[in-house]
Amino acid sequence: MSLERLKLLTAKTPSFDKRSLGKSEISWEDVAAALAKTHPMASKFTRVVYAGEHGLAPQLHKEILLMVLYDSRCQDWTVKIRTLRELIWICLMESITGRDIPVRDQRGDKMKMLGISRIAWYRNWSGKYAFINSILYDWERHVARTVGREVKN
């Protein structure tokens, strides 16, 4: 069933042609083959989020951490690595579940998970959170374009 979730990457309306009987003509094999033509980290992210291959999440987390640490745009960040690791986990879990964790909530929130104050969140961490999410969004967009283009052919 998890492989069928790969088909969610492409929006295709069912055909009402009598030959297709209203079923989508895209198989998960088509999507998987197209996914192989994307950037490896984007492919891994998509497999974790859409195909439910959660066993790859720790490896993906480590690769994102290294990517952020070596990114030239992040060289001026003064952060605790532990907190950055937790922030990356939060971003990944939000992508996997499709739900945002509230910034501030009595039942549990990003600030409590990171062990930071409200001021620290808004001054230091919200921009880093947005940066990490932009990476994930760019991967998802790249995969959607590539898969859409490959499946059309």
State the DSSP H helix or E strand holding residue 123, giving kind and residue range, or none if neither.
none
Q: What's the pTM value of the predicted model, to 2 decimals? A: 0.77
CA distance 63 to 39: 13
User: Tokens 């960040």 sit at which residue?
Assistant: 77
pLDDT tens-digit profile, the chain (153 residues): 455 555 555 555 444 444 444 455 677 787 778 878 888 999 899 889 988 889 999 999 999 999 999 999 999 998 899 999 999 999 999 998 888 888 876 666 888 888 888 899 999 999 999 999 999 999 999 988 888 887 776
Residue 26 in contact with residue 150, Cβ under 8 Å?
Answer: no
Task: Record the tokens describing residue 64, joined without a space.
Answer: 């994102």
Q: Which of 53, 122, 52, 135 is nearest to 91 (CA)?
A: 135
